[in-house]
Chains A and B, each alone.
Chain A
């Protein structure tokens, strides 16, 4: 038996005749992010990747995070794990998510611990099968850990010990989660060293810098040295929310305008995702996990 083969997901067999496969999207497809300066669509492959989103308040960070979460919600085998200290930014996905963490430090740490355990188990499993990473239609799906306003958990709520623990857990998940399909998308206003440890910030391969209040902030999000080459998200028009520099494939910041979902759009997609997930048994009702 060829153990390196991917293993079919068992769930569709039971409920396939009534449940439309959610959107037919896959997290292995790149996420449509918006358009770039040339009018070309900008796609962001999220599988095996992590993204850090920065920018001043009102730069469009939460909207971008919603786009990524929306794509994942329409993927039939991606579980959502949402952390949002502000509740309303990702709250519309609450019912479609497996875990929704509001302004509750304890819950956030418990959730990250769970994700960490899943990650360890998955690696043990892969090792037992002599494999190194997961593929599409694998035995287990992917997990999107989306965190809006990391600063709330890593610098504001709880005590110093909890904040450090949160940062350490998140760093571990960002560092090791890629190969087993655990994807982290995190947004914060200014990821300086007093908000999140630089060791955590530097692990994010992909960056999106919405408008920043100064050139240094832009460099903190994108990485040191881009301002000197003329890439500063401080020059973005403050009234043009959703525009920013994206570092993805190619490694050079690309000016993009993020696609926008209105609240009605989000609710429509979220309701549909919730419905398909309940029917296919993927999503546990969010109320159950709140302790």
Chain B
């Protein structure tokens, strides 16, 4: 990649070359975005504040105040955007952080308010009862899987789902446990579409990364193409036999004279009983044969027949 293209004023003319190192351009574009945000905030807030302040103060004082206010707010925005890569990590791990804090603070307050044996008893109860009661345990595990899956998916998106030039990843929305596994909603950023996830082997890779059995992707909304849904399955909830309710519609007091067709004598039920007739080109013979349709003569080894999709 040439030096000149790297130093282009907009920093994005390197799209023709191969960007193998994602970090440098991303960090650069980040800094640039922070600087631009600073100036825009300074301009807009400064102008507004100056206009309002001029009503009450001398215009020059008002203008000065506006600039100072704009600069302060701009600096805040700059700091937020510059620190966003770090803040983002906190955001991603927010449930875990909150949980951890709750555990630590809960434990200390418990220790302060009750004697040691009391605290131990309460902890044993809080941990032991859900662990002992199966439905609660399964429920808790399902929610834990939801947390895990969101991290795993983020890893996948960063690792092998094509991102756009800004390197922004799809937004992983909340996850919900289902009897088969989890369901996660994802908001795709510009530059991605469902097609990228449908590419050959992509869902299988997702399944591997999520420690799951299968991953299925589909649109989640008729209005927004960006909103997609991932169904991750890791359990088999359909293993039981479902008894059909249709017999329940039959009253118990129907007459026993079950109508049946006249019986058929057991003739021709074995090979010697069926004569060996000459085979003809016309297909009259199959009438004798037990009809089975084993005619799925596939045209290629993997059974793919282009005319099936004609």
A residues with a Cβ closer than 8 A to B are 20, 22-25, 32, 34-35, 37-39, 67, 70-71, 74, 85-86, 94-95, 103-104, 149, 151-152, 155-159, 188-190, 192-195, 198, 213-214, 216-217, 220, 224-225, 228-231, 235, 237, 240, 242-243, 252, 255-261, 265, 267-269, 271-272, 274-275, 278, 286-287
- Residues in A with CB closer than 8 Å to B254 are 271-272, 275
B residues with a Cβ closer than 8 A to A are 178-180, 194, 197-200, 203-204, 207, 213-218, 231, 233, 236-247, 249-251, 254-255, 258-262, 282-283, 286-287, 291-293, 295-299, 302-305, 307-310
A252 to B194, CA, bound (A): 14
Within the complex, the shortest CB–CB distance from B130 to chain A, in Å, comes to: 22
- Name the contact of A193 in the complex, choosing from B194, B215, B240, B310 (C-beta under 8 A): B310
Q: Which residue of A lies closest to B288 (CB)?
A: A103
- Residues in A with CB closer than 8 Å to B260 are 95
A256 engages B295 (CB within 8 Å): no
B237 engages A156 (CB within 8 Å): no
Within the complex, the shortest CB–CB distance from B184 to chain A, in Å, comes to: 13
Q: Which residue of B lies closest to A283 (CB)?
A: B259
A151 to B240, CA, bound (A): 30
| A67-B244, A159-B282, A272-B251 given; 20 more Cβ-contact pairs under 8 Å | A20-B251, A23-B250, A35-B238, A37-B180, A38-B180, A74-B246, A85-B291, A86-B292, A103-B291, A192-B296, A192-B305, A194-B299, A214-B303, A216-B308, A224-B309, A230-B216, A257-B242, A269-B246, A269-B249, A271-B254
B303 engages A217 (CB within 8 Å): yes
Within the complex, the shortest CB–CB distance from A285 to chain B, in Å, comes to: 9
A271 to B255, CA, bound (A): 10
- Residues in B with CB closer than 8 Å to A38 are 178-180, 237
Q: List 17 A-B contacts (CB under 8 A).
A: A23-B250, A71-B246, A74-B246, A156-B291, A198-B308, A229-B217, A230-B215, A230-B231, A240-B236, A242-B242, A256-B238, A260-B242, A260-B243, A267-B258, A269-B247, A269-B249, A271-B254
A230 engages B297 (CB within 8 Å): no
Most buried by A among B204, B207, B291, B309: B291
- Name the contact of A152 in the complex, choosing from B180, B197, B262, B291 (C-beta under 8 A): B291
- Residues in A with CB closer than 8 Å to B238 are 35, 37, 240, 243, 255-257
- Residues in B with CB closer than 8 Å to A274 are 259
A194 engages B242 (CB within 8 Å): no
- Residues in B with CB closer than 8 Å to A86 are 291-292
A22 to B251, CA, bound (A): 10
A286 to B259, CA, bound (A): 12
Within the complex, the shortest CB–CB distance from B175 to chain A, in Å, comes to: 15
A252 to B237, CA, bound (A): 19
A23 engages B249 (CB within 8 Å): yes
B242 engages A258 (CB within 8 Å): yes
A269 and B261 in contact (CB under 8 A), knowing A216-B302, A231-B216? no
A152 and B216 in contact (CB under 8 A), knowing A23-B249, A216-B302, A265-B246? no
A-B pairs with lowest CB-CB distance, top 6: A230-B216, A23-B249, A151-B293, A230-B203, A257-B238, A259-B244
A198 to B215, CA, bound (A): 29
B293 engages A149 (CB within 8 Å): yes
A265 and B286 in contact (CB under 8 A), knowing A189-B293, A271-B254? no
Q: Which residue of A lies closest to B242 (CB)?
A: A259
A37 to B235, CA, bound (A): 10
